[in-house]
């Protein structure tokens, strides 16, 4: 670990993230309850405090919410949804952004100018707002009866479309640099088509930066999902994500049932913080300008 | 030169605005049947014919789009389906609340972000710098809705010090409702402003810090040091040259502020434009969403133009460049 110059903070963050992902992925194996199965909920159990407090029930380690849902189970299943939506959205952003960036950077010229102006124009508007507006468009277009069933795809598309320019920009830079090298020209002279050269020779060079971008974007995408769900335009109360849980818990803030907000909030904040810490480290290590030593030598 | 830049920028903005208007126009197609909305379901075919002719619905699509653009340019966005009032009026009523919240939060985060960014860049090894950096990482990692919720839990629910929703007492000054003239209005501002400022100033602090560090590492700062200038003079040199990325960062901030005031207004039930947007998205109130789309596009064009002009005023070197955004693009990449 020391060899790579990584601090304890980074290691702890990576560990926490790994534990969170593992815990969430295997949740159905050990969660006390299926919180999406409305038949298993009893209103009599609603708003029980955590089991370690006075009046708590042993069955509900973190207490229950207003519907009588076991909060621990709701958090585990909610985090599954949050991580899934965030992950799929970043995949979509990459699927849209990488080909665009590749085409722009490798082809250059007018195509490059048009595509990158488009990316810049969208980047000027915060992605959360783009996602919210995309969500609004989807909600206006779809029938009301379809909305609840389609809430996951709507969110994935809204958040993914809001983030594609980040991928396009990174890929374009690499493709531009790599596309101008001699071996590409040699490959083209050897009779390899433009398309094959882009796919076989430029694309592999792009994979590393795309993976880094993927890691950096994941935390933000999860945050976007939570924000939209908190605003009430994300996942519905019947299948709550972490953001939905916090919104529902918000109604009980002033009446003293703090656990319905605090536990989901922690479950959201800790992984996102860990992801950002890791992203920060990765960026610093890849960007020589971020280093104290190299800075003293001036930048290229 | 500067006039040319303004004209160029405006010319570039026109296609963007037309595309956004087209999106808003297309959105209107899904708003339901305008004839049924105007006449009710029991109208006869003849009545519908007459109304269609009167509303100009028989015209071709491009013609209707053109008419839509003209109406929007005149500030006529139609009627909100949820509130049954003209969209322009609905938005105008809520604008003061949003502008006051965003304005105060912007000033607070500018002071903290620029001051903190410069401090942490200059005193890089200080313990307080480390604390500030950890704090700012927390600040950018916690989504504003979470910070707001936790602030309510602490200061409104537990300590009962500050109000958790609404604007407090407001005064009507010539059609502009303001909370800035009453003690209650200021008390109501504290929590929402803090929520916005925690995120904004953390982000700004990190951007400013990066800009100042880059400036401090440049040749002319080393030369100034070598000439034996005092530390204070050297830092001042570096700060002036870090201003261009700072302006770029601040303009990004202003944009983020618009986005996150949506969230903050929802958390604190602040009766502004952001809350209106969320309610409209939830209720699929198409005319309001369309109007917001157009207004946001306009706002961002204005912010970017203002930032470009400010950068030109600050840094004479940019004036020689054909496109005035060289510094902005470089700074924007770090955002």
pLDDT per position as a tens digit, B167-206:
888 888 877 888 888 888 888 999 999 999 998 899 888 8
Q: What is the structure's pLDDT at B33?
A: 61
Q: What is the structure's pLDDT at B195?
A: 92
Dump pLDDT digits (tens) for A10-48. Answer: 888 888 888 888 888 888 888 777 777 777 777 777 777
B14/A contact by beta carbon, under 8 A: no
The answer to whether the beta carbons of residues A208 and A201 sit under 8 Å apart is: no
How far apart CA A186 and CA A209 sit, in angstroms, is 25
Using a 10 angstrom Cβ sphere, with 0-12 exposed, 13-18 middle and 19 or more buried, the burial of residue A68 is: middle
How far apart CA B241 and CA B223 sit, in angstroms, is 15
Dump pLDDT digits (tens) for B113-150. Answer: 989 988 898 888 888 888 888 888 888 888 888 889 88
Dump pLDDT digits (tens) for A199-253. Answer: 888 888 888 888 888 877 888 899 889 998 988 888 888 888 898 988 888 888 7
Running DSSP on this structure, what letter comes out for residue A36? T
Q: What is the structure's pLDDT at A299?
A: 27
Contact between B143 and A280 using a beta-carbon 8 Å cutoff:
no
Dump pLDDT digits (tens) for B236-265. Answer: 777 777 777 778 778 877 877 887 888 899
Dump pLDDT digits (tens) for A103-112. Answer: 998 888 888 8
B102 or A120: which carries more pLDDT confidence?
B102
What's the angle, vertex CA B90, arms to CA B87 and CA B94, rounded to 5? Answer: 140
How far apart CA A288 and CA B46 sit, in angstroms, is 73
Across the interface, of A137, A246, A261, the residue whose CB is closest to B27 is A137
Dump pLDDT digits (tens) for A272-299. Answer: 888 888 877 777 676 544 443 333 332 2
How far apart CA A113 and CA B143 sit, in angstroms, is 34
Three-class SS of residue A287?
coil
Q: What is the structure's pLDDT at B330?
A: 38
Asked if the model's pLDDT at residue B329 lies above 60, the reply is: no
Instruction: List Cα–Cα distances, B147 to A122, A127, B86, B275, B322, in angstroms.
Output: 27, 19, 34, 17, 43
Q: How far is A91 from chain B (nearest CA, A)?
A: 21
- Which residues does chain A have within 8 Å of residue B30's beta carbon, measured at their own beta carbons? 140-141
Contact between A136 and B289 using a beta-carbon 8 Å cutoff:
yes
Asked if the model's pLDDT at residue B322 lies above 70, the reply is: no
How far apart CA A281 and CA A197 sit, in angstroms, is 33
Q: How confident is the model at residue B111 (pLDDT cuts 50, 70, 90)?
A: very high
- Measuring CA to CA, which residue among A273, A228, A121 is closest to residue B303? A121
pTM of the model: 0.80
The answer to whether the beta carbons of residues A53 and A263 sit under 8 Å apart is: no
Q: What is the structure's pLDDT at A66?
A: 75
Give the residue-averaged pLDDT of A180-202: 86
Nearest CA in chain B to A136: B281
Cβ neighbour number for residue B57 with a 10 Å cutoff:
14
Within the 150-169 window of chain A, which residues sit less than 8 Å (CB to CB) from chain B? 169
Instruction: List Cα–Cα distances, A38 to A41, A236, A239, B316, in angstroms.
Output: 6, 13, 10, 66
Dihedral of CA atoms A227, A231, A236, A241 in degrees, nearest 10, equals: 20
Among B135, B146, B196, B259, the residue to mutate for chain A (most A Cβ within 10 A): B146
Contact between A230 and B263 using a beta-carbon 8 Å cutoff:
yes
How many residues make up chain B in this entry?
335
A272/B contact by beta carbon, under 8 A: yes
Nearest CA in chain B to A232: B282
Cβ neighbour number for residue A90 with a 10 Å cutoff:
27
A177 or A127: which carries more pLDDT confidence?
A177
Q: What is the structure's pLDDT at A28?
A: 82
Give the residue-averaged pLDDT of A74-86: 91
Using a 10 angstrom Cβ sphere, with 0-12 exposed, 13-18 middle and 19 or more buried, the burial of residue A221 is: buried
Task: Point out which residues pair with A64 in neighbouring strands.
Answer: A70
Contact between B255 and A126 using a beta-carbon 8 Å cutoff:
yes
Contact between B260 and A123 using a beta-carbon 8 Å cutoff:
no
Q: Is the dihedral of CA A6, A8, A10, A14 positive or negative?
A: positive
Dump pLDDT digits (tens) for A141-176. Answer: 777 677 777 888 889 998 998 899 999 988 998 888
User: What's domain A80-237+263-296's architecture?
Assistant: Orthogonal Bundle (1.10)
How much of chain A exceeds pLDDT 90, in percent?
13
């Amino acid at each position: 670990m020391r060899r790579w110059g990584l601090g304890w903070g980074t290691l702890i963050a990576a560990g926490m993230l790994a534990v969170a992902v593992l815990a969430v992925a295997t949740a159905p194996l050990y969660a006390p309850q299926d919180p999406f199965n409305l038949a298993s909920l009893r209103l009599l159990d609603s708003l029980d405090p955590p089991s370690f407090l006075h009046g708590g029930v042993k069955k509900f380690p973190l207490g229950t919410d207003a519907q009588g849902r076991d909060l621990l189970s709701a958090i585990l299943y909610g985090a599954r949804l949050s991580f899934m939506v965030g992950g799929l959205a970043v995949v979509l952003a990459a699927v849209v952004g990488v080909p665009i960036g590749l085409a722009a950077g490798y082809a250059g010229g007018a195509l490059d100018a048009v595509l990158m102006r488009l990316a810049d124009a969208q980047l000027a508007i915060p992605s959360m707002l783009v996602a919210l507006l995309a969500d609004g468009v989807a909600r206006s277009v779809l029938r009301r009866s379809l909305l609840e069933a389609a809430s996951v795809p709507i969110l994935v598309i809204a958040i993914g479309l809001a983030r594609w320019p980040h991928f396009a920009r990174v890929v374009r830079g690499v493709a531009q640099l790599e596309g101008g090298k001699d071996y590409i020209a040699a490959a083209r002279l050897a009779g390899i088509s433009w398309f094959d050269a882009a796919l076989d020779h430029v694309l592999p060079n792009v994979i590393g930066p795309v993976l880094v971008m993927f890691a950096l974007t994941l935390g933000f995408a999860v945050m976007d999902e939570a924000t939209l769900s908190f605003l009430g335009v994300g996942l519905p109360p019947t299948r709550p994500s972490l953001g939905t849980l916090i919104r529902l818990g918000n109604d009980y803030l002033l009446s003293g049932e703090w656990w319905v907000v605090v536990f989901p909030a922690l479950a959201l904040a800790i992984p996102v913080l860990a992801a950002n810490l890791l992203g920060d480290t990765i960026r610093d290590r890849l960007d020589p300008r971020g280093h104290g030593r190299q800075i003293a030598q001036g930048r290229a | 030169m500067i006039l040319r830049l303004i004209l160029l920028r405006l010319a570039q903005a026109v296609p963007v605005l037309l595309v956004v208007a087209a999106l808003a126009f297309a959105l209107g197609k899904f708003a339901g049947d305008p004839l049924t909305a105007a006449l009710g379901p029991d109208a006869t075919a003849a009545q519908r014919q007459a109304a269609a002719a009167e509303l100009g619905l028989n015209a071709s699509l491009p013609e209707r789009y053109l008419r839509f653009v003209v109406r929007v340019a005149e500030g006529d966005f139609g009627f909100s389906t949820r509130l049954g009032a003209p969209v322009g009026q609905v938005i105008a009523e809520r604008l003061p609340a949003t502008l006051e919240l965003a304005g105060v939060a912007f000033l607070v985060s500018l002071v903290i972000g620029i001051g903190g960014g410069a401090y942490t860049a200059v005193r890089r090894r200080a313990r307080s710098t480390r604390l500030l950096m950890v704090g700012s990482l927390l600040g950018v990692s916690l989504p504003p809705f979470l910070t707001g919720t936790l602030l309510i839990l602490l200061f409104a629910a537990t300590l009962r010090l500050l109000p958790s929703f609404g604007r407090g007492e407001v005064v009507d000054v010539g059609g502009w409702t303001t909370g800035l003239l009453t003690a209650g209005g200021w008390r109501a501002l504290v929590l929402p402003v803090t929520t916005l400022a925690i995120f904004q100033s953390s982000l700004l602090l990190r951007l400013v810090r990066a800009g100042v560090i880059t400036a401090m590492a440049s040749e002319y700062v080393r030369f100034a040091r070598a000439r034996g200038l005092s530390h204070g003079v050297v830092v001042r040199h570096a700060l002036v040259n870090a201003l261009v990325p700072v302006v770029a960062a601040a303009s990004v901030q202003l944009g983020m502020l618009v986005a996150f005031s949506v969230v903050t207004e929802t958390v604190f039930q602040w009766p502004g434009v952001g809350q209106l947007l969320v309610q409209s998205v939830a209720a699929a109130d198409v005319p309001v969403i369309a109007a917001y789309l157009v207004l946001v596009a306009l706002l961002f064009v204005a912010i970017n133009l203002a930032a470009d002009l400010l950068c030109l005023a600050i840094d004479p070197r940019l004036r020689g460049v054909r496109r005035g955004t060289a510094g902005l693009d470089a700074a924007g990449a770090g955002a």
